[in-house]
Amino acid sequence: MTWWVLVLPVAFVVSLGIRSLYLLDYAHVLSGALWTGADLFLGFVFGPIMRRLTPDQRKGVISYLVPRTLLYMPVVAFTTGTAGWYLATQQGFLATASPMRPWVLGALAITTILALIGLGVFLPNNLRIWFELRKDLPDIERITRLNRQNLRLAGVQGILQVTIILVMAHLALG
């Protein structure tokens, strides 16, 4: 399993305990890079590959991948957003007079949409597909419908991830 991803929320909590802006920034940037990288890879590289696999090959890949993403994706998503909020607060970006405040609020809006789509649609759909595939007679029509929905939303996720990178670049340069 991807247990190692738990290092990121631990680093985040430790950064708050010892008041280390460096460690807080590390937790935010690394978890954000892992979340964004995984979303972009799964959506734009892995998605088209999955479409070309036979049903049996897809079943094997999904059976292997879904359990591993159940921990990975929520952990990096929550760590990224929470660490980012604390980072913006500590740097004064949320102060009413800060010119960075609209950028932080924009990042918060994008992060919220990404998390809602990921945890509210992708995660439940992937679980439904995984449970369906474990049945003796899986409902292929249901699996196909859920996969189509995921593929459509993968493009939205990709656009939002690229957009948040642009916002983060602006915040990093001040």
Question: Any alpha helices (H) in the chain, and if so which ranges?
Answer: 7-18, 21-40, 47-52, 55-90, 101-117, 123-133, 140-173
Q: What is the mean pLDDT of the chain?
A: 90
What stretches of 91-139 show up as alpha helix (H) in DSSP? 101-117, 123-133
Alpha-carbon distance values, 150 to 47, 101, 103, 128, 154 (Å): 9, 33, 29, 12, 6
Predicted pLDDT of residue 158: 87
State the Cα angle at 57 between 42 and 129, rounded to 5°. Answer: 65
pLDDT of residue 68: 82
Mean pLDDT of 47-74: 84
Q: Per-residue pLDDT averaged across 8-37, rounded?
A: 95
Q: Are 83 and 122 a contacting pair, CB within 8 Å?
A: no
* Mean pLDDT in residue range 42-48: 83
User: Residue 151: how many CB atoms within 10 A of its CB?
Assistant: 14
CA atoms within 13 A on the CB side of 50: 20
Q: What is the pLDDT of residue 2?
A: 65
Contact 96, 28 (CB under 8 A): no
**Banded model confidence at residue 108, pLDDT cuts 50, 70, 90:** very high
Contact call for residues 29 and 87 (beta carbons, < 8 A): no
Tell me the CA distances in angstroms from 115 to 11, 82, 105, 161, one per residue in order.
Answer: 21, 12, 15, 11
∠ Cα 96 79 131 (to 5°)? 130
Q: What is the pTM of this model?
A: 0.86
Confidence bin at 144 (pLDDT 50/70/90): confident
Question: What pLDDT does 116 receive?
Answer: 93
* Amino acid (one-letter) located at 112: T
Tell which wins on pLDDT, 26 or 43.
Answer: 26
Q: What is the pLDDT of residues 64-92, one digit of tens each?
A: 888 888 888 899 999 999 999 999 999 99
pLDDT band (50, 70, 90) for residue 55 = confident
Task: Enter the tokens of residue 93.
Answer: 């970006």
